[in-house]
Structure 1
Amino acid sequence: MRDWDNAYANGAHIPDAEAFVPRWQADAAAFREGAFREGAGVEGAGGQLDIAYGAGPRERLDLFLPEGEPRGLCVFVHGGYWKAFDKSLWSHLAAGARARGWAVALPSYPLAPEARIAEITAAVARAITAAAELVPGPLRLAGHSAGGHLVARMACTQTPLPEAVAARVQHVLSISGVHDLRPLLATQMNAVLGLTLAEARAESPALAEPRPGTAATTWVGVDERPEFRRQSALIANAWAGFDTDLRLVEVPGHHHFDVIADLTSPESELTQAFVGA
């Protein structure tokens, strides 16, 4: 019998894990301050915070604009096991893509237990759609952990995105994503998530067919829990049998909390995977 709680317990296996959230908060706040200071006196130059994409209090997104005309729109969807965090912790992760000339949107979304995972998926689709109305051109999606699951869901044949928006998606980057939700049924966190077997099957990208022509990268740290490496390899293998362009990248020296850090650098391989050439 596998201990599924331990399989998904990232913080228990990362030194000084408790220091990461305060660091993210400080880095994100400093990035927001800098982004809007750069645009002082110019209407909308830095972007816009707290754009409503729905009626719910958490249905808000932040949009950061580059200098000049955007090359397109990147969207980053945060993790937190569908039950924690919001957009305010992750603003700094827009830095790399923004420096490369892309607009970057970061949404918050409803959390469990108030929302079921299918409802969270639908909310993220509304956020992407709303952001896409503000920025023309191609779309590139990235997400971390639960966010990796959510962006992978956008690339399934049963995508919640409108067809016109789904057709603009150039690439999906799932960073340490959870792509088969069925093991979560055996975890204590399911008391919050409330998943049933039918829901877990329906919301698992690895059990779904990808949209024809999907280009995707699954990115995971070598020092992560074995379950996250398995989840990344799983969808890469499952989707490879379809009309897709897929890549699995395992990065040495990175764990679940620092695997996203390179999104702050415009020259990093992770940012390159996010924005393309």
Structure 2
Amino acid sequence: MNADDAIDWDDAYSNFAHIADSHAYPAKWLSLAGQFREEMNSKGLLKADLAYGAHARNRLDLFMPHGDLHGLAVFVHGGYWMEDFDKSAWSHLAKGALAHGFAVAVPSYVLCPEVRVSDITVQVGLAITRAASEIAGPIHLTGHSAGGHLVARMVTSTSPLAQAVRQRIRKTVPISPLCDLRPLMRTEMNKTLHLDAVEARLESPALLEPQEGIDVTAWAGAAERPEFVRQNALLANIWSGFDCRVDAVEEPGRNHANIIEGLVEPDHPLTRRLLCL
């Protein structure tokens, strides 16, 4: 490969630059999430701002279903571990799982560069542990983009979760996951992430062994950037050589912004796969 053929890694991971009307999505998410939070709070079905650590961002929201409780689902947001998102933008994504009797936890976490990616892995482990202490039964994990990376990390052999919590995990669905962090060292965003070769390797799910017996579906949109489609397939490809269940789905017509919308619908294939229905 000559210099003219070199990969533009910033463009490869620049999602919104390749999505029509992408600027409208953050406001849309905040509006939908805010409306849903108000609705759930008015019904007494929201346990807001449960602390799982000392930092102001070490908080999670726990949405409770009507009627019988069948377990816990957790959604971990993305934003390249650094963009100014928190739990308040994603509340509405709890709808699908709630309709099937699952409580849904949505945590925030401290962002880079205040902490490192490896620190965020630990934080998410603490958030899941706190939510699991509130809700009995099976645990189902999902997350988007960097959140997909984080939930995949939870089911590796170097997971920060205690074995008692890991044993309760029935299904993990990383959505548009970042499974190999090494290419990100070549992007401008690494001025914020500060990934080095050691951390990138130790925090890349595709370079780690999965825990035995786990059930994972890597889920991406067929219309996403090629690098995300590649990373999604990579996880399933590599982990298929271990003692676990793993597959990959490319949902037709979905891009990096709208791929998460399936979680809102109780009968969408994404929701049903997450809950093993």
Category of TM-score, reference length = shorter chain: over 0.9
Q: Secondary structure at the match of 1:62?
A: strand
Paired residue type of 1:7: A
The 5-angstrom pairing of residues 78-117 of structure 1 reads 78-84=77-83, 85-117=85-117
Gaps of 5+ in 2: 1-5
The aligned residue for residue 132 of structure 1 is: 132
Does structure 1 conserve the Cα–Cα contact (< 8 Å) formed by 2:221 and 2:251? yes
Give the drift of 1:34: 1.0
CA distance in 1 between counterparts of 2:137 and 2:68 reads 11
CA distance in 2 between counterparts of 1:274 and 1:212 reads 19
Does structure 1 conserve the Cα–Cα contact (< 8 Å) formed by 2:145 and 2:176? yes
Give the drift of 1:38: 2.5
Residue by residue over 1:190-241, the C-alpha shift from the partner in whole angstroms, topping out at 9 and shown as x without a partner, is 0000000000000000000000001000000010000000000001000000
Give the drift of 1:30: 0.5
TM-score, with length taken from structure 2 = 0.97
The 5-angstrom pairing of residues 1-277 of structure 1 reads 1-39=6-44, 46-84=45-83, 85-277=85-277
Q: Secondary structure at the match of 1:217?
A: strand
Give the drift of 1:131: 0.3
CA distance in 2 between counterparts of 1:28 and 1:139 reads 23
Give the drift of 1:274: 1.5
Gaps of 5+ in 1: 40-45
CA distance in 1 between counterparts of 2:34 and 2:60 reads 15
The aligned residue for residue 42 of structure 1 is: none
CA distance in 1 between counterparts of 2:235 and 2:263 reads 22
Q: Secondary structure at the match of 2:74?
A: strand
Give the drift of 1:264: 0.5
Q: Secondary structure at the match of 1:260?
A: helix
CA distance in 1 between counterparts of 2:57 and 2:46 reads 19
Q: Structure 1 runs of 4+ off > 3 angstroms? A: none
RMSD: 0.6
Paired residue type of 1:179: C
Give the drift of 1:37: 1.9
Q: Secondary structure at the match of 2:73?
A: strand
Give the drift of 1:68: 1.9
Paired residue type of 2:92: H
Paired residue type of 1:206: A
Give the drift of 1:69: 2.9
